[in-house]
Amino acid sequence: MRRPAEINVMLRAAHAAGRGLARDFGEVENLQASETGPGEFVSIADRQAGRRIVEELSRARPRYGFLLEESGAVAGPDTSNRWVVDPLGGSSNFLHGIPHFCLSIALERDGEPMAALVYNPLTDDTYWAARGVGAYVNNRRLRVSARARLTHCILAAGDEAGADVSHLRRHAAAKSAGASLRWFGAVALDLAWVADGRLDGCWHTGMRRWHIAAGVLLVREAGGAVSDTDGSANMLESGNILAANDRLHGSLSQLMEAADALVPVAPTGQAA
């Protein structure tokens, strides 16, 4: 498969940063037992990966803007195009020496993801998609799963804003419907795995745009469906995302809606 030019630009940036992340991850275990722990080391690794990505992308497309965790939105002379970058998704996993993290890059054109890349530097798997071209891992075409019954499904779920009552109700509803739940701790990889059919769906709340922009396009180009958890198309603004194969998304959306409509029961002696 011949990759589009923008994907090749993103791939060079991802590999340059990924080499550093893989090397730094190898040092994390040595810091686990230290008095200060690896926290500051991981923050430095995150910033260094971000700088490498920005340098590579800026060299190839100097007029494009950026949306970054460190500095927010940085406008470029080309106001239509910007890179949306998360240099270390799954930073808590990285911090604790858990080998499940990634970096992600999306190219937005007038606010819509046009190209996307999620890279796992430990497995060297590159998930990428371009609008109208399809989604791929390395050179293999991606396709979402075909499972339609929740009793046969594995879903990933997380809530960066905290385990509030609505989140717990959604978990309980999915479990009651027979689904198996996981929480892997790297949202972009969850979305990539939905695109790859490893996961049948996922939902997350409290995300930022750089966490999910690449994954949105991956799932869409693999034939899946993506929405806000309330069923709207506002996920990139709200940071709440529900992604699934096209056969499952509707029933999952209904399940979310029903769970959110439940009135929580207050403990005895307290008002609801």
pLDDT by residue (tens digit) across 3-45? 999 999 999 999 999 999 999 998 876 665 555 556 777 888 9
Three-state secondary structure call for residue 237: helix
Q: How many residues are present in the chain?
A: 272
Q: Provide the pLDDT for residue 264.
A: 52
User: What string of pLDDT tens digits covers the 272 residues of the chain?
Assistant: 789 999 999 999 999 999 999 999 988 766 655 555 567 778 889 999 999 999 999 999 999 999 998 889 999 999 999 999 999 999 999 988 899 999 999 999 999 999 999 999 999 999 999 999 999 999 899 999 999 999 999 999 976 555 567 778 888 889 989 999 999 999 999 999 999 999 999 999 999 999 999 999 999 999 999 999 989 999 999 999 999 999 999 999 999 888 878 745 444 433 33
CB burial of residue 272 (10 Å; 0-12, 13-18, 19+)? exposed
Please answer whether residues 106 and 128 qualify as being in contact, where contact means their C-beta atoms are separated by less than 8 angstroms: no
Phi (first) and psi of residue 35, to 5 degrees: -65, -40
Please answer whether residues 204 and 160 qualify as being in contact, where contact means their C-beta atoms are separated by less than 8 angstroms: yes
CB burial of residue 153 (10 Å; 0-12, 13-18, 19+)? buried
Angle at 169 between CA 168 and CA 175, to 5 degrees: 90
Neighbouring CB atoms inside 10 A of 251's CB total: 16
Please answer whether residues 95 and 101 qualify as being in contact, where contact means their C-beta atoms are separated by less than 8 angstroms: no
DSSP annotation of 221 reads H
DSSP annotation of 266 reads P
Residues ≥6 apart with Cβ < 8 Å to 104: 85, 86, 89, 116, 117, 118, 119, 188, 210, 211, 213, 214, 215
Closest CA to 115 of 13, 17, 247: 13
Q: Which two tokens stand for residue 184?
A: 């892997």
Q: Provide the pLDDT for residue 266.
A: 43
Using the structure block, give the residue that is written with the tokens 């996307």: 116
Neighbouring CB atoms inside 10 A of 15's CB total: 16
Task: Give the pLDDT confidence of 40-73 residue by residue, as tens digits.
Answer: 778 889 999 999 999 999 999 999 999 998 889 9
